[in-house]
Amino acid sequence: MKLKVAIIDHLGAHGSSHHFYLFGQASGLINSDVNVSLYTNSQTIDPLLEGLDFFTFYGDIFSSKNKFISAFKYFKGSLMSHFHARFSGIKVFHYHIFGFSILVLFNMMLAKIIGGKIVLTIHDVRSFANINSSKIYTKFIYALANSVLTHNVFSKNEIIKHHQNLESKISIVPHGNYLPFIKYNTDQFSARKKINIDPNSKVILFFGMIKKVKRLDLLLEAMPEIIKGCDNVNLLIAGKPWKDDFSTYQKIINDLKIHDNCTLHIKFIKSEDLKNYYSASDLIILPYNKIYQSGVLMMSLSFCKAVVLSDLEAFKEVVEDKKSALFFSSGDKNNLAEVIIGALKDNDLREKISEGGLDLMKQKFSWNEIGSLTKDAYYKMNYFYKKK
């Protein structure tokens, strides 16, 4: 009998490119001979993936600004999703964790009540919002989990540092590539025209949710040096602030008088527009000072783009300096400027590392490989808990 799994994720397409991750994970599991049911919201379009059972019991959960209405939709969607899955013969419930909250805990307790086993994919080991209340829920959530998946050794070690008893539950399953879900626009001129970027400029892109830990401020502070060292450079900032205020960054732009070299698209970027932003750029910049795993990195490499990023442990587990990316010393704006200037002036270097990154995505981060590792984690979970 095939293993049956319910992936329950109310976020779906509302979380930028997160739904691509869900579809990739589902496809990898299906190709590993696992029956998959995905429960999400109505904003997430059915991918028509052969073998995937797709349900939108959460409805248009993010359409209301009223927290009570959204909470009602959440609890209703969770109840319908869990009971539908359980009455369909599903015992394994898989969740994606970006933060530890009472909503996550509710789902897990519901799964336990109906006799399910719980698998967590931990995207952010600790919340970047620094919400103290999340610490209260973290202990209970990990206690209820039967299996925990992390994207790398760094994240695994971070969890064990605070929860030593979890080591036997943890499996490392990398973040997959975005190759099945993107269409690359090879015409850079047309891509720039669509988003109003100077076709003759050197474009560096900061993309995604704007969070303090992503250090956009550091990149902005490096811009005067970058402008001196490279003619006609344009910093394209595309994304929406998350628990952050863009006025802080606007003040830096004003104080440094770099308006003419910055293009601001401070908004949620729709999935269908991704190709224009990546295709328009010459270099993607990830100046983060903390990260557990980065969808922006995987997306950039899947788009065959050269990337400059902080020399963080989580990044070093994915790419190699001067082969599939370029590293700078984390927190060092002068070194950041130096690396960016060097990359913008060396077309051959950019081409080399962009091709190296794409090859890496194809060879090491395919969803079939991810599906196989995830299935192994499911059976590892069964082994541990039957043994008890």
Q: What are the structural domains, with CATH classification, of the chain?
A: 3-176+366-387 (3.40.50.2000), 180-364 (3.40.50.2000)
Confidence (pLDDT) at 127: 57
DSSP secondary structure, 368-388, as one string: HHHHHHHHHHHHHHHHHHHH-
CA distance 37 to 91: 12
Helix (H, G, I), strand (E, B) or coil at 351: helix
Helix (H, G, I), strand (E, B) or coil at 171: strand
Confidence (pLDDT) at 386: 45
In 143-253, DSSP assigns E strands to: 147-150, 170-172, 202-207, 233-238
Residue type for position 249: Y
Residue type for position 148: V
Q: What is the pLDDT along the chain (388 residues), one digit of tens a residue?
A: 789 999 999 999 986 789 999 999 999 999 999 999 999 999 999 999 999 999 999 999 998 889 899 999 999 999 999 999 999 999 999 999 988 889 999 999 999 999 999 999 999 887 544 445 467 788 889 999 999 999 999 999 999 988 888 989 999 999 999 999 988 767 889 999 999 999 999 999 999 989 999 999 999 999 999 999 999 999 999 999 987 789 999 999 999 999 999 999 999 888 888 899 999 999 999 999 988 889 999 999 999 999 999 999 999 999 999 999 999 999 999 999 999 999 999 999 999 999 999 999 999 999 999 999 999 999 987 644 443 3
Predicted model pTM? 0.87
For 311-317, the CB contacts below 8 A with 24+ separation are 312/288, 313/154, 314/151, 314/152, 314/154, 314/155, 315/286, 315/291, 317/152, 317/153, 317/154
At 90, give phi and psi (nearest 5°): -90, 135
Residues in the chain: 388
Confidence (pLDDT) at 382: 64
